[in-house]
Amino acid sequence: MSKTYNVAVVGATGAVGIEMIKTLEKRNFPVGKLTLLASAKSVGKKLKFRGADVAVQELTKDSFAGIQFALFSAGSSISKEFGPIAAKAGCVVVDNSSCFRMDPNVPLVVPEVNGADAKNHKGIIANPNCTTAITLMALYPLHQAFGCTRIFASSYQAVSGTGAKAIAELEKQVDQVVKGQPVTKEVYPHQIAFNVLPQVDSFLPTGYTKEEMKMENEGRKIMHHPGFKASVTCVRVPVYRAHSIAVTAEFEKPITPEAALAVLKKAPGLDVIDNPAKNEYPLPLYQAEKYNCAVGRIRKDCALENGLSFWVSGDQLLKGAALNAVQIAELFV
């Protein structure tokens, strides 16, 4: 009989938690027993796994006995409190929050980029920011081949990145606008329906948001590239699922679209959809619920020396979160 592992999902009822459960099942992760953990208000709620109902239990200090993998997606404060407890109980913790990402003792991992880093863990491994992970799926193979020095990027981020309430808000606002009713706002500071908001996360004294700086800070750590520079504008768009990023990258070596395509076509976890003559390019609508990210609109940049512009799109609940976490666990199986 092949070895199985007891797995806990912390934040099981959230958007990412639900995707983690689906991903464990779809990828046939060798789960012996699945434990679903959440706050007291979700206790007793049932979620399906392999055709059976699994009841949600309350997350406590004693939740991790006998568990080998704990996948966390319940926010930074929960990770900060319970991540070290789970690690001490002998779990390999894969944390989806921003809590441990920049901790020098915690590997920050995209398996296709720096999977080997995961083996140096001291109990906790961090999952990167979703926009960063999706961007690096296309950028890292190009960096390996041509040496990326800096990027300028704009993100087009789906509302599901904010959670289930944001999806409901967009649905409700579209309905209100169509019916000519006043628009109600709770999740975002402005109407998101038929609008774009050039703010994701809170502002820093520099005028950048926290989300915008993650690309540079996390990119440096994941790519082992301390000199990497990224100037990013993160934008929330009225799309339900899947983030897209327009990237202009500058390289040390000369780069052509043809040479870039040859590299990108071999990159793991990435599809190339690049046929402008037929209006074919990655669309968030079609990347939703797909494991692979997609890249297209590949062209020589006309403002930078050794520059390349491209468009990358991916499901931020999957490659940006749940799938990446399960792939990290798979490195140990």
Neighbour count for residue 205 (Cβ, 10 Å): 5
Is 148 annotated in the active site?
A: no
Q: Residue 50, Cα to own-chain centre: how many angstroms?
A: 25
The two structure tokens encoding residue 217: 């800070």
Three-class secondary structure of residue 270 per DSSP: strand
Annotated active-site residue in 91, 121, 243, 293: 243
**243 catalytic residue (yes or no):** yes
Vertex 28: Cα angle to 23 and 34 (nearest 5): 70
Strands (E), the chain: 5-10, 31-38, 46-49, 52-58, 69-72, 92-95, 124-126, 148-157, 229-236, 243-251, 270-272, 293-300, 307-314
**Beta partners for residue 261, in sequence order:** none
Beta bridge partners of 275: 280
Catalytic site residue from 99, 130, 148, 234: 130
Active-site positions read 130, 243
